Amino acid sequence: MDPVISGVHAGDPAKLVMADCFPRLHQFEREYGSVLNGLRRAPKLARKVVGFPRGMQQLADAMAAPIGEANLRLRSVATQIRRDAKGWNIAWRAADGTEDGASAKHLIVTAPHWHWGALPFDETVTRLLRDWENAQVPAVTVVARGYAVTDIPHPLDGFGYLTPGVERREVLGCLFPTSVLPARAPEGHALLCCFIGGARRPDLAALPDEALRKVVDAELSTTLGIQAAPRKEWIQRWERAIPQYDAGQRRREEALTQAEAAHPGLHFHGAFRGGISLMHVIRSGDALGRTLARG
């Protein structure tokens, strides 16, 4: 499990809780005696790699379309959040400095937990969120490179690879997005994404660009035999990447449940609870929306 935890969760396998990070594998262990037995014997789930042809913005655009531009307030800062007998009253300041506000029966907070301190809740809410202040979210830097296929000696016949901690490599793993989503690169080219940093080596995520290039050159030369220079390169730094479901996660999730119970109409939704994958966030968000719409 080591490479999966450090690759998928960018975490330290010694600190994360299996049941919270991989509930299905944990269930295999309980029901079938071992993860391997479970993988062999449990009914297979239909799984599919999902990607958006125009990138993640396509998802945001699809969600925004039915709401309508006139009903969206973007790049605005909440200046007050209060609850009265009717519901939640929110005031905000728009980017051009104008002040406005609205009230609603339900308020769903989807900002990640490291932004909650900036939200103007009153003390009755902030006190219940205090446990989240020290929740760990390590940095990850992604070095994405486009190569001509002829410059890659490896067949890239897979989704990519994750590196076990015991090998002490400087890269958490490398994904081959074009092997599953060919439209991610022009014909005759391949995209490779190297993940660097995470809970065990956050210092590596902060390396300057030139040093990162050397790390990635050495990694791709060793594992895929690449000697040629990439045709394109993008370096994306996530100072806070993946929430860590460590020993404190259950306590923090309970605090959220308490905050929601004590403040009817208040909901927290995102990768900070229940599951970090994008599909989890989409599915559980859809379920929450449907429940609230039913009244």
Alpha-carbon distance of 78 to 211, in angstroms, equals: 39
Q: Binder to ligand FAD among 86, 105, 115, 250 (CB under 6 A)? A: 115
Q: Binder to ligand FAD among 124, 150, 221, 277 (CB under 6 A)? A: 277
Alpha-carbon distance of 262 to 253, in angstroms, equals: 14
For ligand FAD, the closer of residues 257 and 277 by Cβ is: 277
Question: Which residue of this chain has its Cβ atom nearest to ligand FAD in the complex?
Answer: 270
Q: Binder to ligand FAD among 42, 149, 261, 278 (CB under 6 A)? A: 278
As measured in angstroms, the least distance from the Cβ of 194 to ligand FAD is 11
N-to-C CA span, the chain: 42
Cβ-count burial of 223 within 10 angstroms (0-12 exposed, 13-18 middle, 19+ buried)?
middle
As measured in angstroms, the least distance from the Cβ of 264 to ligand FAD is 22
281 binds ligand FAD (CB under 6 A): yes
Q: Binder to ligand FAD among 87, 112, 120, 165 (CB under 6 A)? A: 112
As measured in angstroms, the least distance from the Cβ of 16 to ligand FAD is 15
Q: Which helix (H) or strand (E) holds 191?
A: strand 189-197
For ligand FAD, the closer of residues 115 and 130 by Cβ is: 115
Alpha-carbon distance of 123 to 144, in angstroms, equals: 43
Count the residues of the shown chain that bind ligand FAD, applying the rule CB under 6 A.
17
As measured in angstroms, the least distance from the Cβ of 252 to ligand FAD is 15
As measured in angstroms, the least distance from the Cβ of 172 to ligand FAD is 10
Interactions with ligand FAD, residue window 230-269 (CB under 6 A): 238, 241-242
Residue among 273, 241, 246 nearest 10 (CA): 241
Q: What is the residue whose two structure tokens read 């959220």?
A: 256
Alpha-carbon distance of 269 to 112, in angstroms, equals: 9
Cβ proximity of 178 and 191 under 8 Å:
yes
Alpha-carbon dihedral of residues 35, 277, 159, 181, nearest 10 degrees?
Answer: 150
In Å, how far are 65, 124, 147, 212, 277 from 231, measured between CA atoms? 36, 54, 5, 17, 30
As measured in angstroms, the least distance from the Cβ of 271 to ligand FAD is 3
Q: Binder to ligand FAD among 16, 140, 162, 212 (CB under 6 A)? A: 140
Among 62-70, 88-96, 257-265, 271-279, the segment contacting ligand FAD (CB under 6 A): 271-279
Binding site for ligand FAD (CB under 6 A): 110-112, 115, 118, 140, 142, 238, 241-242, 270-271, 276-279, 281
